[in-house]
């Protein structure tokens, strides 16, 4: 039998080197500086919490997934990001449960990678925050020695952590909201403040985000739009009434950096059109400022992103580009 | 409609046609008041009573209820029994009455109850209607108590108010909040779906010569 001269295949005919695993593992790689920064500030507890959250996510993907999906690295990202949103002193069993919920309830229930409506890591975090409000809002200050635990990490499963021997602090946002105390901008930028593991070192997150944006693995419009909205809105409010914090504080405190760079830009749950990306960022930025300044909680990045995730299908539909040769000014044939 | 035996009338509502877990009827109280076993029991028993009472009355009165206004007649009958349940709960267990709040009055619009009147009690003699109402009511009660147990155990670490896991248990507060109702129901339905799928796979589909597969009717 002769082989056919022309092989007829469906498009695409030109393929780039990028694949799902390649992109996902690049994201994991770009998170390494953030993890290093977290463990620098919070000691061994940071590594423990991040590792256990990742194990929970990857293990759930292994059990519930269709098989072979561990290699694409998406579960590892979910686990890493979830770990980075948790405080250092959280009991490890809560971190594990968060990882399980993130993948099980945030992703597998919808049908796996690419099907989920909401960012899985934030689903895990939102579940934990609603289930264990106390454990999730206990912020230990950085321990003195690296091997010193930041909290009762080894509390027995399903049992309350023993917080007696540990000092707890406040996050810059909490201090601002409930006590009206600001934090020096340089401390915020370098990360020497209380808070979740990954929400402190803005510089490490921006470096990782810049790398991903250059590789086009994330849509730069989304973080830029979020930052611009937050800066403009909060600076305007600050001018009108100076008791509210200014743009610099709002940008570099709390989970805004991690959320805007790594969570809002999740390819599955963010808009596909450029115009949609601007709109989506605008929505997240506005919600963050609204919740932080006038909401009951000191931090609102998580809920802002989850709410806008829900809007993504509508944003996509509303911002479809005009197909070339149709619409405006073109007479129907 | 296939003729059913009295035994089927009774058993069907408990498991095979469970109002909450299979038919997804009466979800409003199932989601809203199942944050503890006590509330679930009270709600389940009140609904059981209303369903039984109105089924008996509807079955007895079916010859005199004009077809055109039957729905309003059923609602009136149901509302009578709801009022009785409401007053009795308020007199006997005022605290539970307070915890259930508007959801007692809302039993009137529980579509499971109206559904049984329309589909069964208005067509069958009293004895069969009683069996059907008892089965459906028991199914509803069981579903509510299952949900209440899961939510109270996780959300409060207790069963009927008695601590189960000791004083150090860290309660999952979300489970006694509204999302916990949705999570619990969702996971129960997920479990049911998984179980039914597995059972269906064990029944071999009959293959016709031209390749069309038909589902073999499940042996009743």
How sure is the predictor about B25, in pLDDT bands with cuts at 50, 70 and 90?
Answer: confident
Domains of chain A by residue range: 19-169, 171-317
B209 assigned to some structural domain: no
Is residue A118 within 8 angstroms of chain B, CB to CB? no
Q: Is A169 helix (H, G, I), strand (E, B) or coil?
A: strand
Interatomic CA distance for residues B136 and B113, integer angstroms: 9
Is residue A90 within 8 angstroms of chain B, CB to CB? no
Interatomic CA distance for residues A232 and A188, integer angstroms: 19
**Which percentage of chain A shows pLDDT scores above 70?**
87
Is residue B188 within 8 angstroms of chain A, CB to CB? no
Per the structure, how many domains does chain B have? 1
The string of pLDDT tens digits covering residues B143-173 is 999 999 999 999 888 888 888 887 778 888 8
Task: For the full predicted model, state whether its pTM sits above 0.95.
Answer: no
Instruction: Identify the residue with better confidence: A315 or A248.
Output: A315
B210 assigned to some structural domain: no
Which residues of B are less than 8 Å from A131 in CB distance? 172-175
Residue A20, Cβ density class (10 Å: 0-12 exposed, 13-18 middle, ≥19 buried): middle
pLDDT at A146 over 90: no
Interatomic CA distance for residues B80 and A82, integer angstroms: 53
**Which percentage of chain A shows pLDDT scores above 90?**
32
* pLDDT at residue B217, rounded to an integer: 46
The string of pLDDT tens digits covering residues A34-83 is 898 888 888 888 899 999 999 999 999 988 877 777 778 889 999 999 99
How sure is the predictor about B204, in pLDDT bands with cuts at 50, 70 and 90?
Answer: low
Instruction: Identify the residue with better confidence: A32 or A196.
Output: A32
Neighbours of A317 (CB within 10 A): 11
How sure is the predictor about A251, in pLDDT bands with cuts at 50, 70 and 90?
Answer: confident
pLDDT at A11 over 50: yes
Q: Does ipTM exceed 0.95?
A: no
pLDDT at B216 over 60: no
Q: Do A131 and B169 touch (CB under 8 A)?
A: no
pLDDT at A332 over 60: no
Is residue B153 within 8 angstroms of chain A, CB to CB? no
* pLDDT at residue A324, rounded to an integer: 80
How sure is the predictor about B219, in pLDDT bands with cuts at 50, 70 and 90?
Answer: very low
pLDDT at A277 over 90: yes
- Structural domain boundaries, residue B177: 6-202
B207 assigned to some structural domain: no
Q: Which of residues 132-171 of A touch B (CB under 8 A)?
A: 132-133, 135, 155-156, 158-161
B212 assigned to some structural domain: no
Instruction: Identify the residue with better confidence: B205 or A156.
Output: A156
The string of pLDDT tens digits covering residues A187-244 is 666 666 667 787 767 888 888 899 999 988 889 999 999 999 999 999 999 999 888 8
Question: Using an 8 Å Cβ cutoff, are B72 and B118 in contact?
Answer: no
Neighbours of A7 (CB within 10 A): 6
B-interface mutation test, from A106, A124, A131, A163, most B Cβ less than 10 A away: A131
pLDDT at B12 over 80: yes
Average pLDDT over chain B, rounded to whole? Answer: 86
Q: Do A160 and B175 touch (CB under 8 A)?
A: no
Question: Residues for chain B: how many in total?
Answer: 220
Tokens for A255, please give them. Answer: 């989970």
Chain A to chain B, count of Cβ pairs less than 8 Å apart? 30
Question: Using an 8 Å Cβ cutoff, are A130 and B173 in contact?
Answer: yes
The string of pLDDT tens digits covering residues B46-81 is 999 999 999 999 999 999 999 999 999 999 999 999
A-interface mutation test, from B170, B186, B191, most A Cβ less than 10 A away: B170
Question: Using an 8 Å Cβ cutoff, are B145 and B41 in contact?
Answer: yes
**Concatenated DSSP letters for chain B?**
-----HHHHHHHTTTTT-TTTTS--SHHHHHHSTTSHHHHHHHHHHHHHHHHHHHHHHHHHTTTS-GGGHHHHHHHHHHHHHHHHHHHHHHH-HHHHHHHTHHHHGGGG-HHHHHHIIIIITTS-HHHHHHHHHHHHHHHHHHHHHHHHHHHHHHHSEETTEESS-TTB---GGGGSHHHHHHHHHHHHHHHHHHHHHHHHHSPPEE-TTS-EEPPPPP-
DSSP designation for A221: H
Interatomic CA distance for residues B111 and B105, integer angstroms: 13
Question: Using an 8 Å Cβ cutoff, are A53 and A78 in contact?
Answer: no
């Amino acid at each position: 039998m002769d082989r056919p001269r022309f092989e007829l295949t469906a498009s695409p005919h030109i393929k780039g080197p990028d694949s799902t695993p390649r992109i996902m593992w690049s994201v994991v790689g770009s998170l390494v500086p953030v993890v290093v920064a977290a463990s620098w500030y919070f000691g061994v507890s940071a590594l423990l919490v991040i590792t256990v959250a990742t194990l929970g996510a990857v293990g759930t993907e292994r059990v519930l997934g269709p098989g072979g999906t561990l290699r694409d690295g998406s579960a590892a990202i979910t686990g890493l990001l979830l770990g980075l949103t948790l405080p250092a002193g959280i009991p490890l069993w809560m971190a594990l449960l968060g990882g399980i919920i993130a993948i099980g309830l945030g992703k597998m229930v919808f049908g796996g990678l690419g099907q989920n409506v909401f960012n899985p890591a934030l689903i895990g975090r939102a579940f934990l925050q609603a289930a264990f409000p106390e454990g999730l809002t206990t912020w230990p200050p950085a321990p003195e020695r690296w091997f010193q635990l930041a909290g009762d990490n080894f509390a027995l499963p399903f049992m309350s952590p023993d917080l007696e021997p540990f000092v707890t602090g406040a996050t810059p946002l909490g201090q601002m909201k409930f006590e009206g105390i600001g934090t020096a901008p340089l401390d915020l930028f370098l990360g020497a403040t209380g808070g979740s593991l990954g929400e402190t070192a803005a510089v490490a997150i921006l470096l990782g985000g810049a790398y991903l944006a250059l590789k086009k693995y994330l849509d730069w419009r989304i973080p830029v739009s979020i930052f611009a909205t937050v800066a403009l809105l909060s600076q305007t409010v600050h001018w009108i009434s100076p008791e509210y914090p200014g743009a610099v504080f709002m940008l570099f405190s709390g989970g805004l950096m991690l959320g805007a760079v790594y969570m809002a830009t999740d390819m599955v749950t963010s808009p596909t059109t450029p115009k949609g990306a601007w709109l989506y960022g605008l929505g997240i930025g506005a919600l963050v400022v609204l919740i932080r300044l006038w909401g009951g909680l000191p931090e609102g990045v998580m809920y802002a992103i989850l709410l806008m995730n829900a809007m993504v299908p509508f944003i996509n539909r509303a911002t479809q580009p005009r197909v070339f040769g149709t619409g405006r000014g073109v007479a129907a044939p | 409609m296939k003729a059913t035996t009295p035994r089927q009338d009774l058993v069907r509502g408990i498991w095979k046609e469970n109002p909450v877990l299979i038919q997804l009827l009466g979800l409003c109280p199932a989601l809203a008041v199942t944050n503890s076993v006590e509330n679930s029991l009270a709600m389940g028993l009140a609904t059981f009573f209303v369903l039984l009472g109105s089924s008996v009355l509807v079955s007895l009165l079916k010859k005199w209820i004009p077809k055109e206004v039957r729905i309003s007649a059923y609602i009136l009958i149901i509302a009578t029994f709801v009022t009785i349940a409401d007053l009795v709960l308020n007199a006997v267990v005022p605290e539970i009455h307070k915890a259930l709040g508007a959801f007692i009055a809302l039993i009137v619009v529980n579509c499971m109850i109206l559904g049984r009147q329309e589909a069964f009690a208005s067509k069958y003699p009293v004895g069969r209607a009683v069996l059907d109402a008892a089965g459906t009511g028991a199914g509803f009660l069981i579903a509510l108590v299952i949900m209440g147990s899961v939510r109270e155990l996780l959300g409060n670490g207790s069963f009927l108010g008695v601590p189960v896991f000791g004083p150090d248990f860290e309660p999952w507060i979300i489970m006694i909040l509204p999302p916990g109702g949705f999570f619990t129901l969702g996971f129960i339905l997920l479990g049911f779906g998984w179980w039914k799928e597995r059972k269906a796979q064990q029944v071999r589909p009959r293959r016709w010569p031209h390749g069309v597969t038909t589902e073999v009717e499940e042996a009743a």
